[in-house]
Structure 1
Amino acid sequence: MNSSRTGLRRAALAVLSAALVATAAGTAQAHPGKVGPGKGHHHGKGHPKPAASLRDLADRRHVLIGTAVDTTALAEDGAYRAATAREFSSVTAENVMKWEVVEPERGRYDWSAADELVRFARAHGQQVRGHTLLWHNQLPAWLTEGVADGSIDAKELRKILREHITAEVKHFKGKIYQWDVVNEVFEEDGSLRDSIWLQQLGPSYIADAFRWAHRADPGAKLFMNDYNVEGVNAKSTAYYELAKKLRAQGVPVQGMGVQAHLDIQYGFPTDLAANLARFDRLGLRTAITEADVRMFTPSDPAKLARQASDYRGLLAACLATKGCTSFTVWGFTDKYSWVPGTFEGEGEANILDADFRHKPAYEALREELAKRH
């Protein structure tokens, strides 16, 4: 849901590799192996116990707390790297698993940046969400230009899509716990988006994508994912009906991802819990996948309080839903937010400020996770 940040990516990979060696040991001891309940820090006598991190508290609630990761920042910014390791039990590649990055030329794959993120996650006991296999944005030029000039026809496009999904999912087999298989395929009115996929392949491309992904890695949970589907509305209902139809046909649709890009100038989606619950009843897992809460800047105490309330409401709805097993923020510090470059005059959408200080939104998430249940 953001524009690509590719500058200095290749140079950053070497820095990130070195950073993994420098930071892995201490954090891996604090969070060894797979994420699970009750794993935290141990402290000797005479040393005050620091406040529990988000991931410590989330472990106790049996939910993964995640963030989208800017891999350039991960390589070059020590404070960012430390906070990513300390606060989160799940990571999502902000851009480096998208098609334009992993296959910039047809048949030539570049997994390097994504592999570094997976290595970082494994070194720090974190799970990885895959984002995203099929989208109408951030496609490589060779693909979009080929479709536009007719050199790639519908038959060839279907073959290309199958090869892409199969190659990417197989490359990361066993390393990804959830994949966003199809991303943003509906319009606000519930009609299918008029993308090159729909134009060239018809609506069957959605079922095909899930079948190909499942065949490549039967162990990964496969999700649909979109924005403006927090409440019960035409768009979220279209996903509900599609999931019901595909599952009846045996298509391995296993989850619904709610992006949750909110804005404090609008009302909070108070029917979020009801919306998650209906997908839950279908037998789908659910997840908050890209949460942030933007505002017109500069902020003030009232705006920050409203932002904190919205973050708390998103997390509370997830925690109240049995099948909601992960809650991911789309970046955690305002220093690297995608929002100012996309929404004019808006920003400060994350739970830490640009200097990595905790905002009221961070404390709201901590308090919600710490509640007795």
Structure 2
Amino acid sequence: MKRKRWTVSFLCICGLIIGVTAHKKADHTRKSVLKDAYAGKFYIGTALNESQIEGKNEKEVALVKEQFNAIVAENCMKSERIHPEENTYDFTLPDKFVAFGEQNGMQINGHTLIWHSQAPEWFFEDGDGNTVSREVLIQRMKEHIHTVVGRYKGRVKTWDVVNEAVLDNGNLRKSKFYEIIGEDYLKLAFEFAREADPEAKLYYNDYSTALPEKRKGIVRMVRKLQEQGVSIDGIGMQGHVDINTPAIEEFEKSILAFSELGVKVMITEFDMTVLPSPWEKTGAEVSAKFEYSKEMDPYKEGLPHNIVRTFDSRCAAFFKLFLKHEDKISRVTFWGVNDGNSWRNNWPVPGRTDYPLLFDRNNQPKSAIDSILAVVYNNR
């Protein structure tokens, strides 16, 4: 009888130990997931490239499902891709992108409707190659926005309506939209998007938003649109930063300045280059291009420990800032899934090896993730 009781007790103790161990393992797993760690704070998103949308890289797709709860298409929704000819739309990839988000319960973000870059030339020309009239471009813009936004009405929750319309000095960019239509193209773009889906959240999106003059220019532009009765829900701060600039304090000033307009703030394209810059600018002007040199590509074989520590510390500093202003920020999105498919490897110097994201080229978490997770868990 005693032996039987001892056996039962032993089994109970073993079961308790196994249960506690399993609980600890499950808790550890949960705590290593970004979207879980920041649940209730803001969405944690990533940009998907064509291969990921097509499901060609199973490990990357699994990583997206595990770590993120918001997605944005890196390229396939830009007008050049989705509307290559006047009477031709290609919704093949965008449809798959939206379906992926819906199947995995993610917030789906549309990027981008009106952008001077990666816009098809036919937008601005007639059949003879002449510049179209103001009326023609307005109609083309309206038709494009109504068709794209209308197709995903109620499914794509947020749209980058206008992208990168303000220069670093705060002045409006003299794009073809501006030259042909005038400043009104901004107002019209938001009005057309609102008509196409009254429930969608509409954003203005830009880089280098921590620059004081650019900050003022964006505030000035958005305030003027608001005074004209235009409804803007948020401002996207792209967050293409490096390990030295911009100053965290300047980034915070922009979060505050934008939120004071009565809109939400999103960090829409966060990544952090560790590579030297071949120019004095720190933005994301995609037209910039410089010749390759070994001096501009110092970490081909991997990062030294001091750079890793700096990267990790700066990532933590940014997330401390985001957490401090969680009431103002609705989403933080990384521009890419892993280091290997980041645009930073080819901009502004093609062929470099950069390490700007949280997962390495083998989809393994980097030490920066621990720093980012510690920010939120140490704050509880």
Q: How many residues align?
A: 329
- Correspondence 1:370 to 2:350: no
Structure 1 distance, partners of 2:266, 2:128, is 35
1:272-299 Cα distance to aligned partner (Å, 9 max, x none) = 2232122212211000000000112412
Unaligned runs of 5+ in 2: 1-17, 276-297
Distance 1:220 1:369 in 2: 29
Which residue matches 1:323? 328
The CA deviation at 1:73 is 3.1
The answer to whether 1:111 aligns with 2:91 is: yes
- Indicate which of 20, 34, 38 corresponds to 1:54: 34
Structure 1 residue 107 displacement after superposition: 2.2
TM-score, normalised to structure 2, is 0.82
Aligned to 1:202: 182
Which structure 1 segments of 5+ residues have no match? 1-42
Backbone CA RMSD of aligned residues: 2.0
Work out the CA distance in 2 between the residues paired with 1:148 and 1:339. 38
2:228 paired residue among 239, 242, 249: 249
| 1:335 matches 2:340 | yes
- Report whether the alignment pairs 1:135 with 2:115: yes
Task: Output the CA distance in 1 between the equivalents of 2:121 and 2:142.
Answer: 18
Q: 1:70-89 counterparts in 2 under 5 A? A: 70-74=49-53, 75-89=55-69
Report the counterpart of residue 223 of structure 1 in structure 2: 203
Residues 1:238 and 2:217 aligned together: yes
| TM-score, scaled relative to structure 1 | 0.83
Shift of 1:57: 1.1
**1:313 aligned to which of 317, 333, 342:** 317
Deviations 1:165-217 (A, max 9, x none): 11111111111222111100011111111110011000010011111111111
The Cα shift of 1:95 comes to 0.5
| 1:97 to 2:77 alignment | yes
CA contact (8 A) 2:124 2:137 kept: no
Q: What's the CA shift string for 1:321-340, capped at 9, x where partnerless?
A: 22211000001301211111
CA contact (8 A) 1:224 1:255 kept: yes
- Asked whether the 8 Å contact 1:295–1:346 carries over to 2, the reply is no
**What is the SS of the residue equivalent to 2:274?**
strand
Which amino acid is 2:29 matched to?
Answer: A
- The answer (yes or no) to whether the contact 1:294–1:346 under 8 Å persists in 2 is no
Give the letter for the 1:295 counterpart: V
Q: Could you say which residue in structure 2 is the equivalent of 1:304?
A: 308
Pick from 350, 353, 366: which aligns with 2:360? Answer: 353
Measure the CA separation in 1 of the matches of 2:227 and 2:378.
38
Aligned-residue sequence identity (percent) comes to 29
For residues 204-239 of structure 1, the C-alpha deviation after alignment (integer angstroms, 9 at most, x for no partner) is: 1001111111111111111111110035x1111111
SS at 2:345 equivalent: coil
**What SS is found at the alignment partner of 1:51?**
helix
Asked if the contact 1:100/1:139 (under 8 Å) is kept, the reply is yes
**Does structure 1 retain, via aligned residues, the 8 Å contact 2:124–2:131?**
no
Query: Residue type of the partner of 2:96?
Result: E
Q: Distance in 1 between matches of 2:19 and 2:66?
A: 19
Q: What is the CA distance between 1:144 and its match in structure 2?
A: 4.7
CA displacement at 1:365 relative to structure 2: 2.1
Work out the CA distance in 1 between the residues paired with 2:175 and 2:145.
18
Q: Give the partner amino acid of 1:350.
A: L
Letter in 1 for 2:42: V
Residue aligned with 2:248, SS: coil
> For residue 242 of structure 2, what is the aligned residue in structure 1?
263
Q: Which entry has the higher C-alpha Rg, 1 or 2?
A: 2
Tell me if structure 2 keeps the 8 A contact 1:287–1:318: no
- Residue 147 (structure 1) shift: 9.2
Q: Distance in 1 between matches of 2:127 and 2:237?
A: 30
Task: Specify the code of the residue in structure 2 equivalent to 1:270.
Answer: E
CA distance in 2: counterparts of 1:44 and 1:210, whole angstroms: 54
User: What is the one-letter code of the residue matched to 1:262?
Assistant: V
CA contact (8 A) 2:60 2:337 kept: no
Change (3 A) 1:157 1:300: same
Change (3 A) 1:145 1:156: closer
Inter-CA distance 151–203: structure 2 relative to 1 (3 Å threshold): closer
Mapped to 1, the partners of 2:364 and 2:236 lie a distance apart of 28
